[in-house]
Structure 1
């Protein structure tokens, strides 16, 4: 029984990590073209805020970081030239662009681990099937996000190493 609970907990954590990366896919913003200055602004602000906030960058955290920055009175986002709406749009464009430039084998590996844990678990088959459908849905959402991010891929590509560091905790690296 303990092994079953541990397997279920590990699987839930793995699926949760993938889910948190993809959460904003459900409510996409319409984003205008992102330019290099906006991308640099988002990334520079996030390099400070992720350290202060103690959280890595995820695709769905634009509003959380904006609120944190506003409440903390640092106003880094405002100083970088963003209001709430432009911050959210630019943050989400940078996030989607970064997802688009991650090599497909890394994306596949991100989903392979939770699926392997699921297959190895002692969960009943009906629960496995339900969780497998959930992970497969996340895979479809990730593909849609990557496709939308193609519009911003060339803009964020020069910042790839900086973004990898900002998103590292999201992928368990």
Structure 2
């Protein structure tokens, strides 16, 4: 809270997020009485830049994994099952991490923390949704392509007929 005795004007700031509440209240008071304001910076600028970079990078990797799933499946159709499962673990981890990361940040598992994350750190919520949705798409596409590649390998060959 800041008070100007000359003008009788006060400013009060209540916050539960990052930043400098005293500087904000001082600037509010300065704006009200016509005094120059002190420049402020966003304390989450670097965090938001890193989260945006991670989101774009993760989206590019997961879209590439989904697009190349057919090629991946054809290369692994002769692989043994334990190795195949190990190769799918990173995609599964990315998908699960995207789903539970907001709850891990706040310390408890509850859907409410998704709402809190979207409100306080929207780029973290975007990163998590990118991992969750695109990770599930890439994982599902790899499994679907692998299954189809296996069926194509064991499809019976029809004998040629006189008509063909």
Superposition TM-score, scaled by structure 1 size? 0.33
Higher RCO (C-alpha under 8 Å, 6+ residues apart):
1
Larger relative helix fraction: 1
Structure number with bigger Rg: 2
